[in-house]
Amino acid sequence: MRFDIITIFPEFFTGIFAHGVVKRALTNGLLQVELHDLRNFTRDRHRTVDDRPFGGGEGMVLKPEPLVEAVESLNIAAKAERDGQGESVVLLSAQGARFTQATARELATRDRVVLICGRYEGVDERVNELICDRELSIGDYVLSGGELGTAVIVDATMRLLPGVLGNEDSSAFESFGQPDEHFLNEAGGPRSTHGSGGILDYPHYTRPAEFRGLPVPEVLAGGDHAAIRRWRRERALEKTLKNRPDLLESSALSREDRAFLEKLRRAKP
């Protein structure tokens, strides 16, 4: 999969993609990231990318010409000819639809995604109209530029590409993971040892068995896999109810899950 990033700060990404899973995916050729300096698409001596807003008001706005020309230089299909499958052009924007794990899963099916990083007060709206398929926001806050959001989108998406994580289950069996056809067992309980199906992950522990007076939960050292599975699922449900109750509405929940949640809710003071 290839990402093309259009930015006025290409050097911003130097360290970001030089570590861990992203670096490995780049080295293995599973991922390609191309950086494009927006200033290379300006025509004046000062390499101007911004201008004052029509209608007055604060700050500066990224001009449309360099951005549109930058995207056109990438040799991707014109907006009207994109089929919503192979190629996608994304504008990073606080006004965009929220980027979620589901969006990452969708982007991971594309061959090529162009990410446009805004700056200043934002981007001339005609860029969005003329060349972008969608606006994405990484959360309900305002950043000073689209670069951090772009890094988030590249990271979350590339780890879902086949072969990037050693174990394919790692990305299915984690927070926000989608249930697959094997998710529930015959008894209507989750099959795996994970906290997925749309809810948050369960808590993890490693050695030492006791740390600063806190022991690892006994069940995890007991070797009873059914008990471990049940314990992990219950902790994941507990955590989701506490931190992200909204996720429970769209998650795959078994009869056991629902009964456990009901018990938790009743026990709540």
- The nearest distance, CB 260 to ligand SAM, in angstroms, is 35
**Token pair recorded at residue 255:** 């009869």
- Contact stretch for ligand SAM (CB under 6 A) within 5-13, 71-79, 114-122, 181-189: 114-122
Distance of alpha carbon 149 from alpha carbon 155, whole angstroms: 10
Phi-psi region of 193 (alpha: psi -120 to 50; beta: other; left: phi over 0): alpha
The single-letter code of the amino acid at 137 is S
Residue 28 or residue 100: which is nearer to ligand SAM going by CB?
100
By beta-carbon proximity to ligand SAM, the closer residue of 143 and 161 is 143
My answer on whether omega of the bond before 208 falls inside 30° of 0, hence cis, is: yes
Please report whether residue 117 would count as binding ligand SAM according to CB under 6 A: yes
> Six-digit token pair at 2?
């290839």
Binding mask 140-159 for ligand SAM (x = CB under 6 A): -xxxxxx--x----------
Q: Is 64 in the site for ligand SAM (CB under 6 A)?
A: no
Interface region with ligand SAM, contact rule CB under 6 A, candidates 69-77, 91-99, 210-218, 254-262: 91-99
Half-sphere exposure of 260 (CA within 13 A, CB side): 20
For residues 94 and 118, give the distance between their C-alpha atoms in angstroms, rounded to a whole number.
10
97/259 with CB nearer ligand SAM: 97
Q: 74 vs 94, which CB is nearer to ligand SAM?
A: 94
The stretch near ligand SAM (CB under 6 A) out of 15-23, 139-147, 164-172, 259-267 is 139-147
β-pair partners for 36: 6
Does the footprint of ligand SAM cover residue 93 (CB under 6 A)? Answer: yes
H-only helix segments in 91-224: 101-107, 125-131, 147-158, 169-172
CA separation for the pair 269, 263 (Å, rounded): 12
Residues that bind ligand SAM (CB under 6 A): 92-95, 117-119, 121-123, 137-139, 141-146, 149
